[in-house]
Amino acid sequence: MGRMSTMTAPPANASMKTLVVLEAALTNERFTDIVDAAALPKSTVHRILATLVEEGFVAGDADSGYRAGGRLLTLAGRVLSDVESTTLALPIAERLAAAVDCTVHIGVLSGDEMVYLIRIDSSKPYRMRSRVGLGIPLHTSGMGKAVMAQWDRADVERYAERTGLPARTEATIADLSALMAQLADVRDRGYALDLGENEAGTVCVAAPVFDHTGRATHGLSISSIALEHPGSSIEALAPEAIAAARELSRLLGASAV
């Protein structure tokens, strides 16, 4: 038997109606139960369901019943993958932070940004402004550049065209040619630096993390403040960042690391 709606009033706007129908379709198979759960007119539910089916978020029909569509399952799989990678990465990040006594970040590629999944602080009194869930542009961050260095030139060019390479600080690389040159260096040496390019006074060294398909989907960084690691001295911690990133890559199923 379908789950009845607990709503006291029908949703007021189109976006909310779509979300309500989607939830109802995921928790009820029969069209009549979906209508009851959504608390909307049958014609409205039918129209929204048709759109959700066409877009791949819902599958099925009124005769065979409704269920989650392929597009929604793909998105759910990505979320679960991030949860899994966070679980696998946390012990590595904790050990690394204790060993180098710097802040350790692990982020995931999401569109044109790196999104922080993990932040482990050092024992130092200062704290980074970063936070879990925050997205930062790829070209301004060590993790982002470590990932972008694995891309084809055309992909980097498309990224630059989409974003315009906005500068976050005076040190941000906002020129495509300069970015290409630095990414080539990153690819050769296996790690990237962020010397105040995302946030003035903050530095980091980062390495790419690969998944089972061989794609660089995550990044790992060791971060500090420029007062403690002036110039490019954070680079001395590159071997530790690379080793930890390789360990995580192996856990994610990467073979050639």
Beta bridge partners of 155: none
Closest CA to 204 of 215, 195, 216: 195
The whole-number pLDDT of residue 132 equals 84
Comparing CA positions, the residue from 39, 57, 49, 44 lying closest to residue 2 is: 39
Mapped onto helix, strand or coil, the DSSP state of residue 194 is strand
Whole-angstrom distance, CA of residue 45 vs CA of residue 22: 10
Supply the pLDDT for residue 75. 65
Q: What is the pLDDT of residue 68?
A: 81
Q: What is the pLDDT along the chain (257 residues), one digit of tens a residue?
A: 444 444 445 556 888 899 999 989 888 989 999 999 999 999 999 999 999 999 888 888 888 888 887 777 656 655 555 666 678 889 999 999 999 999 999 998 988 999 888 999 999 887 777 888 888 999 999 999 999 999 999 999 999 999 999 999 999 999 999 999 999 999 999 999 999 999 999 999 999 999 888 899 999 999 999 999 999 999 999 999 999 999 999 988 887 66
Residue (of 181, 207, 180, 179) closest to 193 by Cα position: 207
Q: Of 174, 169, 175, which Cα lies nearest the Cα of 201?
A: 169
Q: Walk me through the domains of the chain, giving residue ranges and CATH numbers.
A: 14-68 (1.10.10.10), 78-251 (3.30.450.40)
Strand partners for 207:
220
Gap between the Cα atoms of 107 and 116, Å rounded: 4
pLDDT of residue 3: 43
- pLDDT of res. 110: 87
